[in-house]
Structure 1
Amino acid sequence: MLVSYKWLNEYVDLNGLSAEELAEKITRSGIEVESVEHKAASIKGVVVGHVLECEKHPNADKLNKCLVDLGDEAPVQIICGAKNVAKGQKVAVATVGAVLPGNFKIKKSKLRGEESNGMICSLQELGIEGKLIPKDFAEGIFVFPNDVEVGSDALALLNLDDKILELGLTPNRSDCLSMLGVAYEVAAILGTEVKLPAIEKATDSEAASDYISIKVDAPEENPLYVAKIIKNVKIGPSPLWVQTRLMSAGIRPHNNVVDITNYILLEYGQPLHAFDYNKLGSKEIVVRLAHEGEKITTLDDTERTLKASHLVITNGKDPIAMAGVMGGANSEVSDSTTTVLLESAYFNGQTVRNASKDHGLRSEASARFEKGVDPNRIHDAAERAAELMEKYASGDVLSGVVEVNTLRVEPAVIEITLSKINQTLGTTITSNEVLEIFNRLQFDVKLDDEIFTITIPTRRGDITIQEDLIEEVARLYGYDNLPTTLPSGETTPGGLTENQRKRRAAKRFLEGAGLNQAITYSLTSEEKSKNYAIEKRDPIRLAMPMSEERSHLRLSILPGLLDVVSYNLARKNDSVSIYEIGSVFLKTTDHDQDHDLDHEQPDEYEHLAGAITGLWHSQLWQGEKKAVDFYVAKGVVEGLFEKLGVSQHISYQTAQIDGMHPGRTAEIVLDNEVIGFIGQIHPQVQKELDLKETYVFELMTKPVFEFNVKPLQYMSIPRFPSITRDIALVVDSTVNAGTLKDIIETAGGSLLKEVSIFDLYEGEHMEQGKKSIAFSLKYFDPDRTLTDEEVVKAHEKVLKAVKEQTGAELRG
């Protein structure tokens, strides 16, 4: 709901509050004000000018040379390109030095040799959306009525100096879908009164009942229908203040009759519709449910096929409107209209919603009927609209109304005790304070021995139970004033579990390492569901799948991640690094689930997986590029294990896994338990998925997250020097470097502190079937300086152990 600050001030004394201060108070009372917009905040120097002369530019066919009176001593010459500019018009002029939206500054200039001292503006150039501008001025400058004063502030006349509050209403607060509804709310917040519009009813000698009769064949869908007749109307533009208020509320002006119905919709929250009486073709209105397949052409010139559940307004035979949704083109008010039939009615919200949804027509009117209108405003809205049509469309309002009224709406009456209010809110509010709050809300309230009996006005249809009343007390008492208390008794302090802490640490590490989190479907195809499963089981098929592509629960996360990589590569995103922590689902029974009458639930386990392809590192200025390889992926996984404190218990062993490269794949082992794998996707699979060289890993998180990590122990920085020895061992090609490293660490004893691999050689200078692996070994004792003899003794043990266990020889 868009609320005009200036308009609202006519109904409620805002006590000098600024729009921003008012917005803060409304928000604190429970209705969020999403924004406060001041359209003219960046505009200045725009006045009303009078075009004294207008002639074609001597050097340009599409320009006009205008002499414009700005209210100063002498008129000025302005060059204008608008097609509709003409002598005698009152127009908006941005003077020299003016600033328009977008910080567009107006300066003296020459256009094709002719001096221009300002700019005659269209409404778009003043910041008004094109869809809200009257059609007559949609493609040209705006022309003011002749009675405006030359030199006056054009922004004030166009209501651009107003501030618009945008309310973010929840569905239950339909009462604030009108200016009067917002006025009641603001009056309750500020503790002031609401000034309702004064309505004078017509006393014409002719009666509306002489012109029309009403019949309702669907009383459940339309329990109240009110019609008034206004004769001798003159169709024309509505007053400028009406047009600008409509535009500020997001409604496009059309003509005085239609604009008045829209104005009342905003003021009272009651949708109205104006029919051209002379186009009805009869003197009766019949409201009924549509016939299945019946046709109507609506105001948007679209022929629509109706259903039997749609409510229509007819002339006794043909539909002339879809009730509460849109009028028919066959009864539209036009420039030739002289007599108007004005409709004000109460339509069932669900009926209107169904029709609106079926035809894709959601309007300001249908939105209000769907949420519920105040039945006690239906007559007032009709009388107020008729009065305005008499005043601004020169109409003669016939006395009385014609109506069918089977509506029985009784105000809700709710009893509540003071103790109930205080007990729920945790407050010590007094009876007088509660009485004051209900009086500010203008609820009829009686107090008898701490029991409040409240009669809820029909405009507040959202209040039906005691808790609703308690909410009203709380928000007007002030949420900030409600006391805060801590739970008493035995409580468990909040915090993360160990698994949650480690999961977050894993995410932080992977994202810090350059991987982006992905979230893929748990459902996949039967073929993909079997791929890359760490634990092989039969896939689980859904009983009612959305499609075959989403028919089975996944056994591995990797197929989904590979789809993500393939999707990105197809869109020229060549370097992709992603990970996912999610669930896989393992079947718990051997029998066919399609015939499983027990519908046994699968086991659900959490896995962590990643996929990396393209460049891992790129410094184009230095000409450095680092493509992803096996060791990049392994480095990420090793870093993760280091972060989680399990790296000392992790080892890798070569593996053959379907869909993985036979020579670049390893299983990840945690204390003799295989928990996952890492490696390159098989080249054939890469080709099928249009992937480049892609490296992946997947592991079970439970063994890692639940691993009993020893408490962190700190060691003092060594005060004594270390001694380093490098060795190159020649072994059979089948011997793993990891095996050699384990042997070295075991044999080196307590003096050997670090072992690292720094070289691998296989070439022409190496015997067939052999390879050379170089290690760097660091020896030191934190309590003393080691002697050469001690280091040699430990080093010889290392060499002896590797030779005995693997046949390794020192490379000469």
Structure 2
Amino acid sequence: MQVSIKWLNDYINFNETAEELADKYTMAGVSVENVIRADAGLDKVVTGKIEQIEPHPDSDHLQICQMNVGAGECIQIITGAQNVREGQIVPVAMIGAHLPNGLHIKKGKLRGLPSNGMLCSAEELHMDLTKLTDEQKNGIYILPPDTPVGVPAKDVLGLDDVVLEFELTANRGDCFSVLGLVREAAVLTGNVPHYPDIQVREDDEAAAADLIKVDIEATELCNRFSARVIRNVKIGPSPEWMQQRLEGAGIRSINNVVDVTNFVMIELGQPMHAYDYDEIKGHHLTARVAEAGENLHTLDDSSRVAKGTELVIADEEKPAGLAGIMGGLETEVTEKTTTVVLEAASFNGPNIRRTSRACGLHSEASGRFERGVDVSNTPRALDRACQLLQDMGACTVTKGVVDVYPAPKPQVRIDFTVDEINRRLGTQLPGSKMIDILERLGFGVRETASGAYQAVVPSWRNDCTYMEDLSEEISRIYGFDNIPSTTPFGRMMQGRQSLRRNFIDRIKHVLAGLGMTEELSFSFTNTDMLDKMCVPSDSKLRRAIPIMNPLTDEYPLVRTSLLTSIMENAVRNFSRKNTDIRIFDVAPVFYPKALPVTEQPDEVIRLAGLITGRRHPVGWNQSNEMVDFYDMKGIVEELFRALSISGCTVEAGEHFAMHPGKTALFKKGREVIATVGELHPAVAANFGIKQKVYLFEMDVETLMKYTAKNFHYKSLPKYPAIARDLAIVVDEDAAASDIEAVIARNGGAYFKGVTLFDVYTGEHVAAGKKSLAFNLQFQSSDKTLTDEEADAGFQSILEAVKTQFRAELRA
């Protein structure tokens, strides 16, 4: 938002300089980002009259001008311009001037003769060339013959304005207007504003209600829709003063009708639109939701296909405009227009913002609707527009305003006490001071009890709903620098991370030490990713929460699985020819209790990882072996060891995204704490992946539950261990983990551990059988074992595996 000081001065007088006023605004929370001076570099540029011209004796193109600049005596200036004549008045840059184009004027000589300044062109004065004729653009800029001599050129050129460029926060929609800024200036400077007196002469015999009908179908997206009709419209240029005001706001002048709608939008903060009455089919406008596939042809001559969520203003045949953003091309006001419908409405801000982003179309109007407009302002804005056009002699105004306002907005009332405000601000302000500030800001205040008050919020302050908002208003006007700084009092506590955060950091540290890289991803996904991951239709992972205002249309859902993010990142790496990947992610997923969401969803921290490609980095002394299932299984086992999770069993399992027969479940009792496996071939095909990929997935809360919390230390054994190897032949479908469990139960008091070190099928082993070789460890903590004691444990184990697995000793 930018506005010129001249426009502010139209409604309030103040003695502060532009910089001082900008500082007051900023300190009150209405941030001024920049002060732009149109007269920058014109301090020593004055108007001068060419009294005499004669050719330069040593040049065929230079001319010697004797200039009257109001200093009594003429000064000599040499110029090469060919469009100057005696008696003309032109801008003259005096010695010492620093022009906007960076040129520094010094006393000098041209072909031996002195020159004491320079005659200026429009470009050198930084004038807007688009508003000038070709003759004014070329050569020296010639001023009107009645221009006084010796006065600052900026005054006669209209370059004496200053523009304030505001960087307003989203909650201050009321300041996106000149009158809103005037209200603030009045409070900050103590001056009394003089707002425009809006009066309309309804000088046309026709009634607006007989000419146009307006309706609201989407009442949740449009809460007020107002219209006026003007006839006998004469399309033409706007007055110079209006063009200057709009130019100061960064808006290009088009014609009087369009300029007036823009002027009222900037002045009152209420966007408006003008329709050619004769192009409105059925002379009926309706605020409704667009139908999916409907064509939206806007003023920028672009056609967009509606998705069925956009709010449009439609006539009886088609949309006549994209509500709150841009009007339609078919109903545009042109030079042939004689009757105009002026429309002002109040639209739902979040819907306008979503539509604006989806269409990639942002306008001055949409920016205001997104932040919220004063719903009570629509008839006033229409009256102001009619008044301005009448003053130009550009129309007649029909009788009445067609106004549809089905659910008037109730007044917001806020109860507060003086003590509450002072406690919050750390001040000792009296109630009278607080009331004075609030009333100057437009709030109505009445006392309800001793020291207790009720404030009635003005219609333009949509951001004020609680006592805390009132305390902010009081503090910013009272002055933040007037509030004393005090040291907070309270018991000092050492800041520390939560146990969960420490646990997650341990996970990240271990996996990074194992050569994996942490990825950071958005918590969003889409149904296409769930389809590619082959998530079952009845899985809870399909019950993802839709986002009301997604960052992009590609990610409309909140993710329910980390594997979607992991796979998306892997595919992005594959597309960039990086096929050696080791990544993991520790992040939340979200499960709704019900859809649509009525309460906070469950946020669950999950851990997922992926490896693929070569086992070792490329190097002359490294092999090109590819990672396999056991690399991923080893990573998980090492993670569990580092997290002090022991006693896990591993068994074959199933997972929708992993290869059947190549998926393992790590369990503690009956609870699955990790799933490890090869990517399912169907999932790999969906993503276009042509190499083996391995995944793991687990729940962080479950890992925390099983990590060891109490540790007991034992001294190292003093006595040697005895090892025995057991090689047995069992059925091919016998699980080694089941056999190890039987070995542990039957090993006796001196049994210490078992390790599987060989698996063999093939020659010398019968079909349907396999050979398993285990290393058994026996040890005593208080003596040296004898072979007989170790053999007793070995025989007990052998008998048990023969009985339970029909095992045979392998010869």
TM-score (norm 1): 0.56
| In 2, Cα distance between equivalents of 1:241 and 1:309 | 41
What is the correspondence of 1:525-536 to structure 2 with a 5 Å cutoff?
529=516
Query: In the alignment, is the contact (CA less than 8 A) between 2:46 and 2:69 conserved in 1?
Result: no
Query: In the alignment, is the contact (CA less than 8 A) between 1:426 and 1:483 conserved in 2?
Result: yes
- Counterpart residue number, 1:503: none
- Counterpart residue number, 2:754: none
Which stretches in structure 2 are left out of the alignment for 5+ residues?
A: 52-60, 497-507, 519-561, 574-580, 587-617, 619-636, 642-647, 649-665, 667-673, 677-695, 705-811
For 1:370, the aligned partner's letter is E
| In 2, Cα distance between equivalents of 1:461 and 1:316 | 34
| In 1, Cα distance between equivalents of 2:239 and 2:89 | 16
Deviations 1:614-660 (A, max 9, x none): xxxxxxxxxxxxxxxxxxxxxxxxxxxxxxxxxxxxxxxxxxxxxxx
- Counterpart residue number, 1:470: 471
- Counterpart residue number, 1:427: 427
2:166 paired with 1:167: yes
SS across alignment from 1:100: coil
- Counterpart residue number, 1:325: 325
SS across alignment from 2:356: helix
CA 455–586 in structure 1, closer or farther in 2 if over 3 Å, else same: farther
| In 2, Cα distance between equivalents of 1:362 and 1:530 | 39
Query: In the alignment, is the contact (CA less than 8 A) between 2:298 and 2:327 conserved in 1?
Result: yes
What is the correspondence of 1:271-670 to structure 2 with a 5 Å cutoff?
271-392=271-392, 394-448=394-448, 449-488=450-489, 490-491=491-492, 529=516, 544-545=565-566, 546-548=568-570, 549=573, 552-553=583-584, 587-589=639-641, 593-594=675-676, 597-599=698-700
CA 450–93 in structure 1, closer or farther in 2 if over 3 Å, else same: same
Give how far 1:322 is off.
Answer: 1.0
For 2:569, the aligned partner's letter is S
| In 1, Cα distance between equivalents of 2:443 and 2:66 | 56
Question: Equivalent pairs: percent with the same residue?
Answer: 35
| In 1, Cα distance between equivalents of 2:474 and 2:384 | 33
- Counterpart residue number, 1:685: none
Which stretches in structure 1 are left out of the alignment for 5+ residues?
A: 53-62, 496-520, 532-540, 556-565, 567-584, 604-812
**Cα RMSD after superposing both structures:** 4.8
CA 470–117 in structure 1, closer or farther in 2 if over 3 Å, else same: closer
| In 1, Cα distance between equivalents of 2:513 and 2:490 | 53
Give how far 1:398 is off.
Answer: 2.3
| In 2, Cα distance between equivalents of 1:116 and 1:238 | 40
- Counterpart residue number, 2:192: 193
Deviations 1:495-517 (A, max 9, x none): 9xxxxxxxxxxxxxxxxxxxxxx
| In 2, Cα distance between equivalents of 1:143 and 1:342 | 40
| In 2, Cα distance between equivalents of 1:248 and 1:168 | 16
- Counterpart residue number, 1:749: none
CA 8–147 in structure 1, closer or farther in 2 if over 3 Å, else same: farther
- Counterpart residue number, 1:27: 26
Query: In the alignment, is the contact (CA less than 8 A) between 2:426 and 2:484 conserved in 1?
Result: yes
Deviating more after overlay: 238-247 vs 460-469: 238-247
| In 2, Cα distance between equivalents of 1:382 and 1:148 | 39
Give how far 1:178 is off.
Answer: 0.6
Give how far 1:378 is off.
Answer: 1.4
For 1:166, the aligned partner's letter is E
| In 1, Cα distance between equivalents of 2:411 and 2:259 | 32
Deviations 1:441-468 (A, max 9, x none): 1211001311111000011110001110
Query: In the alignment, is the contact (CA less than 8 A) between 1:69 and 1:150 conserved in 2?
Result: no
For 2:182, the aligned partner's letter is A
Query: In the alignment, is the contact (CA less than 8 A) between 2:92 and 2:117 conserved in 1?
Result: no
Give how far 1:110 is off.
Answer: 9.4
CA 218–544 in structure 1, closer or farther in 2 if over 3 Å, else same: closer
For 2:347, the aligned partner's letter is F
CA 490–214 in structure 1, closer or farther in 2 if over 3 Å, else same: closer
| In 2, Cα distance between equivalents of 1:145 and 1:268 | 35
Query: In the alignment, is the contact (CA less than 8 A) between 2:89 and 2:145 conserved in 1?
Result: no
Deviations 1:187-228 (A, max 9, x none): 222333332111121231423234322233223322222222
SS across alignment from 1:253: coil
Deviating more after overlay: 252-261 vs 133-142: 133-142
Give how far 1:292 is off.
Answer: 1.2
Query: In the alignment, is the contact (CA less than 8 A) between 2:94 and 2:116 conserved in 1?
Result: no
Deviations 1:259-302 (A, max 9, x none): 12111111111111112223335432233222211113211111
Give how far 1:39 is off.
Answer: 2.8
SS across alignment from 1:223: strand
For 2:583, the aligned partner's letter is H
Deviations 1:307-358 (A, max 9, x none): 2221222232122211111111112222333332211111221222222112
Deviations 1:229-249 (A, max 9, x none): 222333222222222222222
| In 1, Cα distance between equivalents of 2:169 and 2:510 | 35
CA 490–127 in structure 1, closer or farther in 2 if over 3 Å, else same: same
- Counterpart residue number, 1:610: none
CA 45–484 in structure 1, closer or farther in 2 if over 3 Å, else same: closer
For 2:344, the aligned partner's letter is S
Query: In the alignment, is the contact (CA less than 8 A) between 2:94 and 2:117 conserved in 1?
Result: yes
SS across alignment from 2:434: helix
CA 150–290 in structure 1, closer or farther in 2 if over 3 Å, else same: farther
What is the correspondence of 1:56-71 to structure 2 with a 5 Å cutoff?
none
- Counterpart residue number, 2:100: 101
For 1:185, the aligned partner's letter is E
Query: In the alignment, is the contact (CA less than 8 A) between 1:416 and 1:466 conserved in 2?
Result: yes
Give how far 1:146 is off.
Answer: 8.2
SS across alignment from 2:415: strand
Give how far 1:121 is off.
Answer: 3.8
SS across alignment from 2:640: coil
- Counterpart residue number, 2:209: 209
For 1:547, the aligned partner's letter is N
| In 1, Cα distance between equivalents of 2:283 and 2:62 | 52
Query: In the alignment, is the contact (CA less than 8 A) between 2:262 and 2:272 conserved in 1?
Result: yes
Give how far 1:528 is off.
Answer: 6.3
Equivalent residues, number: 526
Deviations 1:386-445 (A, max 9, x none): 111122352222232222222411221011011111111222111111111112212110
- Counterpart residue number, 2:553: none
Give how far 1:381 is off.
Answer: 1.2
Query: In the alignment, is the contact (CA less than 8 A) between 1:158 and 1:240 conserved in 2?
Result: no
